[in-house]
Structure 1
Amino acid sequence: MHSLMSLQFEPAWSWIIIVGLFAVAVFVIRSAYPSQIRHLATTRQRLLQLCRLAFLLLLFLVSLRPSISVSNEDQSRSVLYLLADSSRSMQTEDGGGGRTRRAAVAEFSTSLKPLLDTLAEKCEIRLRDFADQIASTESITAAADGKLTAFGQILDLASEEMARDRVAAVLLLSDGRQAAFGDLDSDPAAAARRLGRQQRPIYSVGYGGIEAGGSQLDLSLEELDLSREVFQGNALPVRVRLKSTGAGGKPVTLRLLLENRNGVPEGKSGNLEPAAAVDSAKPVLQVTPGSDADEQTVQLQLVPEQTGDLKLAVEAEALPGEARRTNNRVETIIRVRRGGIRVACFDIIRTEQKWLRKINDSSRIQLDFQAIRTGALSSRAQIPDRFFEPGRYDAFIIGDVPASAFRPDQLQALARCCSRGAGLMMIGGRRNFGEGGYGQTVLASLLPVELPAVNPQTSGPRKMLPSRDGLSHFVMQIAAPDQNRQRWEQVPPLTGANNLQLRNNSLAQILAVSEDGLPLLIGQGTGPGRVLAFAGDTTWQWAMQGFEEEHARFWRQVIFWLTRKETDDSQAVWIQASPRDLSPGMPTELTFGARDPQGQPLTDLQFQVEVVNPAGKASSLIPRSLGDSSAAEFLETLLPGDYWARVRALRDGQPFGNIGVTRFHVLQRDPELDDPAADFALLREISHASGGEFLSEDQLREKLQSWVEQGLPGLSVRRQEQISLWDNWGTLLLLTAILTTEWTLRRRSGLA
């Protein structure tokens, strides 16, 4: 190490101004000051003039702002790093000439050996393989078996290894494919910037193609879209994104698989079996991609019959010659609950049934609509017999449909369903009730109203309001109890209504009336079943005029009441996971709590939560309160497979209620090979963030050659230190001392 010192000046103004001012000041002191002190002794005069000139000289030096510059030149040995990607994406055979990317890296590093050997005379060469960890190696081979690529972590680990070493440069040979998750998925650019601040530039070279697998045959399923909660017996639509490469014109079969948990204990996974193909299900579908790079959304449908947490999968059958198959299946967990409601609705095509069908947005209710043709097409209105199979439907709604649209045996079957507990509702129309001929059918005894043959529908607005009994009835609760009547008064009126008259000696309840007291909604029990007669058929106007929530709530509660599902039979202690299907390393949030028999949350309990991973390892979690419920985050999701979460509730140290159980699923994915497309943009960002460059193989070879000829960057480091001679305490104290001395002399001489 060599040191060099020099004196430097940085004048506050130009030299001419400073020297001029100093000369003027000296002239004034030499000419004017002696006359003021000539009566003093000669020694005292000289001391005072000396103090004044010393102060002036010090000010002159301060205005020049002098400093000492100390330069140190460090020529100690530096280090050159070569990092070679050894992750599995480097196995992709698009490195040119049929080689893998890793083989191309190995061949290139071998060609650099003469240059590296020459540079080794001036610096240390360190070869490192990397994937999710960094490892020292003697040579770069064609082997690549790393499961993940975590650039952010690799650069941080390399920085730790470098410690205080003087690193001339880092050479990075990779495809730029970042495949990391969880804690490993740190920002590569941020790590590169940290290296840049340490004067450690990264020079990267990219390998591979930017298209995933090029034209290699591959089917991939992504973006599984479905309701994660469904009721037993209801149809569940399942949408999935199919990406196909190299499969243009080839038929692709997709099928739904559902877990069979019969005889399988809790904590164990059942076998996935093809979903049953029932009338309303479509568990298998065949599509044909239109091109070799095709994407399309495919919809399938199943009807789950088992209840509980069930694993569901969508699978694309592998095509002949398809090498990568881990992305041919996506899986999730659905919760199938008891108490799903299936409703059959018979009506003409009109606005009311269009809005009524929106009730299918609820995962609990499935409304199957059967359109009834009228006029010249009425002879074709064949109603399938499956609608009247015992137990198939929980409730029936008859709209503007005459009794003649049903065969007599179908009406008999419908009546038998009602006698076994199914609900029945007839809504307003011009061709139903008595006008539709129902007074002469088996349904007449079920309906709570008179059914005269001539009973036309009236026109004009009819405001629907709760009756005295209806104000507190479940069906009529569209707002909080203290706001319920006010909300009904705000709802738009119906346009027309049937004239309903309560049947003589009926025990039915009038639940809603018009402003002039005419019945609009009448309900009664018929043994195990329930029946409603509704005079209106224009509730769709509520939704169109800003009361969509009230419209939906009214119809949901109508169906819940008809099917005796207005009470919730959920378990006291519950737990949910969100999301329920995740990629390896993604966290999931567990939410849990407890409720009393009325469904109100219990907040005086303590919870114990544990998660068992696919290997059988149990992990306890620490709950945090969310008010009415609690939550805990689970992070250890590296293993693919099923995870079981259990929550126990304690009150005063004693167990309370049931043990809540749920399940979530970590997908079986290969993050390196599912999408092995090279990412040169990331390599370019890493290089630029560190102060380096993104290069081709030839450009890197030329740069190494220049380093051989001209020396490595940073081989000789010059450090410079500035020592100020004026901006310090010493100068201030010296100025103060001179002024104090002059003042003391003047005071003693009687001049102060």
Structure 2
Amino acid sequence: MDGETFNAWRLTALTPLPAWALALLGLAALASIALAWRGLAGEPRRARKAALVALRAVAAALALALLAEPALELLQTARVRNRFAVLVDASRSMAFPLEPGGPSRAAAAGAFLREHRAELERLADRVDLEWYGFGGEVAPADPAQAVRGLEPAAGRTDLLGALEAVTSGAGASSRRLAGALVVSDGADNAALADGLSGATRARLRALGVPVSAVAVGRSAPRDLAVERVAVDDFAFVRNTVTVEATLRARGLEAQDVRVVLRREGAVVAQATVRLEPGKERYSVPLSFAPDQTGTFVFTVAAPVLPGEAVTENNQRSFVLRVIRDRVRVLMVAGRPSWDVRFLRGLLKQDPNVDLVSFFILRTNADQPGPQEDLSLIPFPVAEIFGEQLRTFDAVLFVDFAYGPYRGLEIDRYLPNLRDYVRGGGALAMVGGEQSFGDGRYGQTPLAEVLPVAPLDGTSEAEGEFRPRLTAEGKRHPVTALAPGEAPNEAAWAGLPPVTAVNLTRALPPGAGASVLLEAPAVSVGGRAAPLVAVREVGQGRTLAVATDATWRWGFLAAEGGQGNRAYLRFWNGALRWLVRDPSLGPLQVEPDAPSVEPGAPVGLTVTARGPDWGPAAGKKVSADLVSEDGRTVAHGEAVAGEDGTARIELVPPGPGAYRVVSRAEGVGDPASAAVAVRGAGPEDADAAPRPELLQAVSEATGGAFSALPGGDLPDLALADPEVVEIGRRKALPIWDRWWTLAGLAAVLTAEWVLRRRWGYW
């Protein structure tokens, strides 16, 4: 070996044969040895048997060596210096005091590193020292700044993410990491927030390096915080809702504290909690009954006590949507039918619907009799269509004709029903033999508000008619059976056909009506007959369903394996649209999140639609951020894109509850939402250090642990350095020597001679 040029060697094979060929040759060699052993089974003298088998094995080994062409490879190698990372926590929790009245954790960490910098730099004889600051992300740090104390500004702590980034070669370096030292308070709020699990332990072991840790802080400072708020996503108006708040108290003496629940500044509930020494968490129920619908920001707040380390976490805000408890629906049916049965069953099963229904069993023409016999219970026409009409959110006429019922005088109340719609009510007329033109509504006051023009005196068209979406129907929420235009069309195309269509005519443009679904096989005035149409009338809305066979979309579809989802979605969407569910309005504003971190902007998506429910492309939209006292604190504008949406970002002036009010050009009613700006982010929510977490990380990776105040620099473990081949290499064949062939020949000759002498041929 050339000791001046090469400093390492290894055995290698120069044969051109593939590995599978060498394996077959090896098996053949073993077979030859086995055959030799079997041929000597009758030999009683063990010495002779062993000698012959040994000679066969040596011959096989020499033959394989010649075929493998072994060689000695001389290498010029060098040991590459590995890295050692010092990770210093730069998150906001490091601004808390190390101990009551003491320096900040960041300052204590800097002092510790300054004191032990010489010991760390002595590692430079074995590894390259690298310094990093970490919070939510990791970045190289100036060692001089690190020993003075990094600024605690990061809004998150992701210790495991920082270790993985540094181990994989954060920055320009790709050399192996030999070890790491973490200087932190351990207040992780990412993967290790809930401690070490099986998955996080596996990720720590996968680092492959020992992680030593110095915990900055041993005990939690004095603090009172609203740790958690548990509440449903929505509540019903005028129904009691309970907010479960969790209060956390550390280092506080026995005393009473008052916890309040505010709705955008107004106190709606309060409770008094008695703090006890040694007890850390308290559950505080706060109950109230919301008195109006809408989306609001609520805030649970506890008082700020003297000497608290953190005051920002004494309150926590959340967004709560308050909806009407039940939609009150009046349903009047002319006669029992499949459509009536299915629609009534759907409404009765919906816990959000308060259904009042009347069935007219017969008309006066069927058989003379008193008026009380015309319905299941006496029909209180004056009460229902008079003083009680406005207590209903929607009125449904299902296969109902107002005319045949002498003594009821329903026609006297049709103007009331028309005015009810114009004043903000909702009316749906569903087809059948007594509806639309068959019911002679064309000359009544209801014709002024219906979304189609009934053709008086006409009868239903009978047959099988497949519905077809119009351009407006492809976009309208009433006919949205599936998200996306193509899936929605496919859903409608897969439904069973209807078997009857009431003949009506679409209203002219400008009437505020839209045909959503039509029957192309039925022609009225040269156009496809309307099947489903909607209309905005004054402050109200109307819906026309010109068939009494929508039940087939539920019953027959379910029988065919499709389920009744389409039927349910159609009628639920229709009812929500009729009663002006805020989520189905033409203008929608949606915050990216119900609450944002301190200092973060409020991102908004505004969606605007025109009178035909198509995207309001090119229209100017705006959004205002309104504080609890009614002041507009931020304003933004944008232009809606081709899909009718626009993005707006508003920067709130500080923590609190804010209402978002959005407006769009050409859309009358504004849209509103609510957003909470948290007073405390993840770093401020809990001021307690977590030395036990850092100790667990060190133990899981084979590192050492220490804690401040009072702790020293732990013994820093290092992984073995890599050996990397560089420079030259040289192969010296050792198979093509005369003595190799001579040895093989001598062994084979010896075996042959012995076999002849001992009588084996």
Shorter-chain TM band: 0.3 to 0.5
Q: What's the TM-score, normalizing by structure 2?
A: 0.47
Q: What's the TM-score, normalizing by structure 1?
A: 0.48
